[in-house]
Structure 1
Amino acid sequence: MNERVSILDGNTFLVSDRRGDIEPSFDFPTGLFSFDTRFISTWLLTLDGQRLHALSIDDALSYQTRFFLVPGEPTHYLDAKVSVIRSRGIGGSFDEELTVLNHSGQEAEFTLRLDIGSDFADLFEIKHKRHKKGRTTPYVAENELRLAYHRERFRREAVIRTTAPGEIDGSGMTFRIRIGPHGEWTTQLRTATIIYGARGEDIRATLPLGGHRSAAAIHAEQDDLIARAPKLGCDCQPLAGAYRRSLNDLAALRYESITLGVRLLAAGLPWFMTLFGRDSLFTSLQVLPFLPDLVTPTIVMLAGLQGNRLDDFRDEEPGKILHELRYGETAGFEEQPHSPYYGSADSTPLFVTLLDEYERWTGDADLVRRLEAQTRAALDWIDTYGDLLGTGYVWYMTRNPETGLPNQCWKDSPDSISYSDGRLPEFPLATCELQGYAYDAKLRGARLARKYWNDPAYADRLEREAAALKERFNRDFWIPEREYYALALDPEGRHVDALSSNIGHLLWSGIVDESRAAAVARHLLGPRLFSGWGVRTLADDQGRYNPIGYHVGTVWPFDNSIIAWGLWKYGFREEAGRICDSMLGASRFFDGRLPEAFAGYERDLTDYPVQYPTACSPQAWSAGTPLLLLRVMLGLEPEGEHLIIDPAVPEGMGRVELLDIPGRWGRVDALGRSRSPHDNTRGH
């Protein structure tokens, strides 16, 4: 019963076991969650005191699931005389219909019990196994159980109502039912999650979409989003399946901000159902050629929450783009600095990159002009607060050693940045990809300044700084005897010399000297980094390598999509195609849904990709991966008022056709065909 089943609609989601049951857990968050609080931690169904077992599960839709259950273990020799169907949906509230079916020819009596409880745990309390400081009180009314939590002015409630009469107590509901021959009994349960504001109002009810949405409304919204995306026709079934699944997941991951009432993309279920800086920026870059209207709210929201002061607790600095925004109890009481938290060194240059890329695709010059001050502030941050040691590089070290993140690059786990022998360096650190992002941001900022801000002198200055950074970087980060770039520089300027996937991000940024690009590509596709399913986060001969270590040996689909894009930019089309092919091959084993990460085992060893045990699924930048791979394979690149299409489809993939690609040019079509082994010409 370890496999989990989830349903979600925006920031409300439910994770259960394969019976539909929820039991308190801190190893992996099962329960009903909304805006960082677990509203239901126990939801356990028994029939005549027996736990139920799943015959089948219908979970084709992201917001609805049906469980077909029987008591006891099914056998070949004894047919079940009774079965239970749990039909559940989510849309702000959580609805479950329970149907008990009597399969015998005689009237039968049953006792159906639903144990219900809530710990109102904050997600950070689950992660760090902390005890609650407030108090939960149950209130029983006719056909209703209300679980209320309060800690000073922080108040949350779960209200569970049933349509069928039952015996309600403080820990659940009991139904004593009588069913005729071949008859059935049904009740509908609705669980409302209530978030109280400072004035005692239900905040959810004040949002434009309100506290509850019907299945029909969710279905219509998701269908509308998918209808706006380009239409894919292809011979490669894994590509077709991954594309459709990605669009469905991106639609499901949209949520309504509790503070501003705009629709944003959450980073991933279950840990990251909120706005993230880097995740949202990378996901926006991935989806931009397909669904550009998803990107605009993210840019505006991140600009609006840009740092404007020095705040050590939140790692906030003027010009800095946030890392993570949370709404839960620990953020509200400042036990965690996530209201919002600014502990990432990459989100700020990536913000400039996204704004420029967004304008190149959409032609939305008005937004570029409107965000001039915020973009200049982000560029200023790179050279001021970002350059902690005054060396011309972007460094990071948390201002908050108690609760701040030590590593503030995309590999932000504690052991992710290491020397090749496994030792961990001191802080501050300047990881290699941060310098690439800064280089790219300066060039893109220069373009915006010259074209839209009427400031050619500023543009010239940014271009000079970018050129100097590229020269300096290729001198200081290159390890000549190993022919790759160091993962980072330590505080003494020494190489943190592990071989990692970060070097692929350097190709994407353009900071790699042309004479060294081929060596970087060889490492990325060589046996130390490339598992056959994708590029590992850390090479398999490094001291900290672990094929199931979060950032020290696993394969991340998002990471591979950026690497493929970088290889494509430097003309390594075949190598980029190998990564595209491996990612799509892996997606077949996950029903088209690429997880956050999977194990870095050799392909020949396992014959299938092994999922990382606590990987988020769905996750936004994994859902965006097939979209970016499509862009790479079809060679899509905006150029003025036109879209350049230069396909290089991997061998054996056949025809790939993408219709109605949106952009400043209107909508255009792209077609590519893979080469046969005997054909030296590219598809067109």
Structure 2
Amino acid sequence: MKELISILDGNTFLVSDRHGDIEPSMDFPTGLFTFDTRFLSTWLLLLDGERLHALSLDDSESYRTRYFLVPGEPTHFLDTKVSVIRSRGIGGGFDEELTVLNHSGQELSCTVRIEMAADFADLFEIKDVQRKQGQHTAKVEENTLRMTYRRQAFHRETVVRSSAAATVDKRGMTFQIEVSPHGEWTTRLSISTVIYGARGEDARAQLPLTGTRTMAAIEAEHAEFVAKAPKLGCDCQPLAGAYRRSLDDLAALRYESISLGVRLLAAGLPWFMTLFGRDSIITSLQVLPFLPELIPPTLTVLAGLQGVRLDDFRDEEPGKILHELRYGEAAGFEEQPHSPYYGSADSTALFVVLLDEYERWTGDVALVKQLEFAARSALTWIDTYGDLLGTGYVWYQTRNPRNGLENQCWKDSWDAISYSDGRLPTFPRATCELQGYAYDAKLRGARLARLYWNDPAYADRLEREAAELKERFNRDFWLPDKEYYALALDADGTPVDALSSNLGHLLWSGIVDESRARRVAEHLLGPRLYSGWGVRTLADDQGRYNPIGYHVGTVWPFDNSIIAWGLWKYGFRQEAGQICESMLAASRYFEGRLPEAFAGYERELTEYPVQYPTACSPQAWSAGTPLLLLRVLLGLEPQGEHLIIDPYVPSGMGRVELLDIPGRWGRVDALGRSRTPADEVEPR
């Protein structure tokens, strides 16, 4: 797969090859995108009819890139008399400054051509090509090319303007240039995107952070975002690099919703630059100790879009928290159900978990009271629509067999849930971590009801239901002969016996019996699941194991952060530290930016973590991973009006110091140092 370079700011992002060119691709989306539509599908630079080759590029910042290019094949680079610099930045649309440099003592005459096209493809069309039903037009104006797509009320436009005189046609711009000896020629190309609303104006006009901004304004905003976070000082360079890269990526992934008017975190580039219930909640849990101000908009929007009716097309049910919200043509014309789509069986319980965790850190009682109805509705969903078979468990089965997701847990690819021999279970399915989330949600809901909703009877009921669920779960999901919890139950109640990373989510939720916790930890760090770089999604002796299979053998950083948190909660500090250490070691090979997933090969086999071919990067819950790992290393836990700090830093990591940790206690500092053999204490 060719190397791809991306820049992003909010919901607008651009993906190109390492030369800066954009061409339509079936394998991976290149182009300029905003709000689920591709506004540029071709952006190809030619010098005297030839493609250019990259000497170097600077992509150290998320919102701008520079490419240093020359004509000819690599063997001719030393003899080149001309070079080209493409400097681009993004913010709503994008700007590209194109500079041609003449390195000879003779005047240079040449032709610069940029091929341009806008297919206005919906992101779903790129993944599953469909014939567009609207009308494309291209209009030539002075030094300007205006490309338009219209389908009934759906109206999008791309406008390209040049600061230098150009010959414009419907397929691009041509520049006949002359450059003096050792001189240079420059033009600035401005590409703006327009999303027309019902009144014939850009629907984003009232969103000040979505429109085109200067690079200086974007840089200042990113700097302000990073400055709000606690300051990290440490001896472990992978941790320092991953922490800073995570803050930068989280800053870049924020976007403003057209219809909702608040700043949210997009799930990941390129496929998931929008609001996802599960991803947004888990990312919020990861970043809460560092940037708590990100949480209220997420909770409020998810509550505002909470399901209120039965809608088979969208998998909507009363009380259910959404899975995914889209803005493109396919959603607008109900060719896809994502406006929004509710095919997630875990986001509803996780919503309650996040609301309680947020209050425990911040003391924001007002938000807890404001969202009481939404939280109660979510808890009701768990026991009603969530319990499809009336067995006391959360099950899932799509109501939309044509467009709905088959698997509605976090491992949502079609083959992610299987028996150990590789067979696929029937529907509905009840995966194990869904029960853990429900258990945790009930206990947290009970706490909120008792302390803030003035309903002790409801609190007592939720605690009783949680205890019954824990007892029932440990009876029905435990596999005595294998000594681990089943991945799921099938429609007949038969355990789906694959060994998977979901065990770590069970520890995090607290649903695991104390007597079985050690065996679960041993499985997670055992040779079948643990690759040396992290815990695989599926053990390497299972029927569907594939080290580069999306959910059947890869290592997911976010998954490992939850696993580390779960191990920590049950007192397995050394094991949690091992997960933290392996994730941070892996981050070095990705320049500090942990991807969505990487291959599950043994560490001894590859000596470096192998990139998953189509992993999202940056991705929000991968960007949040180093932050949660830092919380685990320092043992940060809110307790009333205080923050408990109980560090366990693995040997060799040295000093870890986090300053100005925000919360209901004001701001406090935490310090941890590497363990020595004398410090090791046997976990319970």
Structure 1 length normalisation: TM-score? Answer: 0.99
Residues 185 and 455 of structure 1, relative CA distance in 2, 3 Å threshold? same
Corresponding residue SS for 1:530:
coil
- Structure 2 counterpart of 1:45: 45
Corresponding residue SS for 1:13:
strand
Deviation at 1:199, TM superposition (A): 2.5
Cα deviation code 1:360-410 (max 9, x no counterpart): 000000000011111000000000000000000000000000000010000
The answer to whether structure 1 residue 151 and structure 2 residue 146 are counterparts is no
Corresponding residue SS for 2:592:
coil
The answer to whether structure 1 residue 451 and structure 2 residue 451 are counterparts is yes
Alignment check: 8 A CA contact 1:524 1:535 kept:
yes
Deviation at 1:121, TM superposition (A): 0.5
Alignment check: 8 A CA contact 2:18 2:54 kept:
yes
- Structure 2 counterpart of 1:230: 230
Find the aligned partners of 1:620 and 1:603 in 2 and give their Cα distance. Answer: 25
Alignment check: 8 A CA contact 2:70 2:77 kept:
no
Corresponding residue SS for 2:267:
coil
Deviation at 1:76, TM superposition (A): 6.7
Alignment check: 8 A CA contact 2:350 2:437 kept:
yes
- Structure 2 counterpart of 1:23: 23
Find the aligned partners of 2:320 and 2:364 in 1 and give their Cα distance. Answer: 23
The answer to whether structure 1 residue 348 and structure 2 residue 351 are counterparts is no
- Structure 1 counterpart of 2:389: 389
Q: How many residues align?
A: 682
- Structure 1 counterpart of 2:239: 239
Residues 74 and 628 of structure 1, relative CA distance in 2, 3 Å threshold? same
The answer to whether structure 1 residue 370 and structure 2 residue 370 are counterparts is yes
Deviation at 1:680, TM superposition (A): 4.6
Corresponding residue SS for 2:61:
coil
Deviating beyond 4 angstroms after TM superposition, the runs of 4 or more aligned structure 1 residues are 678-682
Alignment check: 8 A CA contact 2:413 2:551 kept:
yes
- Structure 2 counterpart of 1:470: 470
Alignment check: 8 A CA contact 1:635 1:647 kept:
yes
- Structure 1 counterpart of 2:560: 560
Alignment check: 8 A CA contact 1:652 1:676 kept:
no
Corresponding residue SS for 1:517:
helix
Find the aligned partners of 2:367 and 2:209 in 1 and give their Cα distance. Answer: 26
Query: Where in structure 1 are there 5+ consecutive unaligned residues?
Result: none
Alignment check: 8 A CA contact 2:210 2:256 kept:
no
1:195-214 residue pairs with structure 2 within 5 A?
195-209=195-209, 211-214=211-214
Corresponding residue SS for 1:86:
strand
- Structure 2 counterpart of 1:512: 512
Deviation at 1:356, TM superposition (A): 0.1
Find the aligned partners of 1:34 and 1:459 in 2 and give their Cα distance. Answer: 44
- Structure 1 counterpart of 2:622: 622
Deviation at 1:139, TM superposition (A): 0.4
- Structure 1 counterpart of 2:286: 286
- Structure 2 counterpart of 1:406: 406
Deviation at 1:74, TM superposition (A): 3.2
Find the aligned partners of 1:362 and 1:81 in 2 and give their Cα distance. Answer: 61
Percent identity of paired positions between Structure 1 and Structure 2:
80
Coordinate RMSD, CA, aligned: 1.0
Alignment check: 8 A CA contact 2:91 2:210 kept:
no
- Structure 1 counterpart of 2:598: 598
Q: Which amino acid aligns with 2:54?
A: A
Corresponding residue SS for 2:45:
strand
- Structure 1 counterpart of 2:328: 328
Find the aligned partners of 2:207 and 2:635 in 1 and give their Cα distance. Answer: 41
Deviation at 1:210, TM superposition (A): 5.0
Q: Which amino acid aligns with 1:80?
A: T
- Structure 1 counterpart of 2:650: 650
Deviation at 1:678, TM superposition (A): 5.1
Q: Which amino acid aligns with 2:397?
A: M
Q: Which amino acid aligns with 2:420?
A: S
Alignment check: 8 A CA contact 1:40 1:120 kept:
yes
- Structure 2 counterpart of 1:161: 161
Deviation at 1:78, TM superposition (A): 4.1
1:129-148 residue pairs with structure 2 within 5 A?
129-148=129-148
Find the aligned partners of 1:255 and 1:207 in 2 and give their Cα distance. Answer: 10
Find the aligned partners of 2:680 and 2:161 in 1 and give their Cα distance. Answer: 67
- Structure 2 counterpart of 1:607: 607
Q: Which amino acid aligns with 2:29?
A: P
- Structure 2 counterpart of 1:440: 440
Alignment check: 8 A CA contact 1:675 1:681 kept:
no
Corresponding residue SS for 1:75:
helix
Query: Where in structure 2 are there 5+ consecutive unaligned residues?
Result: none
- Structure 1 counterpart of 2:298: 298
Find the aligned partners of 2:605 and 2:131 in 1 and give their Cα distance. Answer: 42
Deviation at 1:198, TM superposition (A): 2.1
Cα deviation code 1:626-656 (max 9, x no counterpart): 0000000000000000000000001110100
Q: Which amino acid aligns with 1:569?
A: K
- Structure 1 counterpart of 2:339: 339
Corresponding residue SS for 1:300:
helix
Alignment check: 8 A CA contact 1:345 1:395 kept:
yes
Q: Which amino acid aligns with 1:421?
A: D
The answer to whether structure 1 residue 575 and structure 2 residue 552 are counterparts is no
- Structure 1 counterpart of 2:255: 255
1:210-221 residue pairs with structure 2 within 5 A?
211-221=211-221
Find the aligned partners of 1:498 and 1:228 in 2 and give their Cα distance. Answer: 43
Find the aligned partners of 2:78 and 2:576 in 1 and give their Cα distance. Answer: 55
Deviation at 1:9, TM superposition (A): 0.3
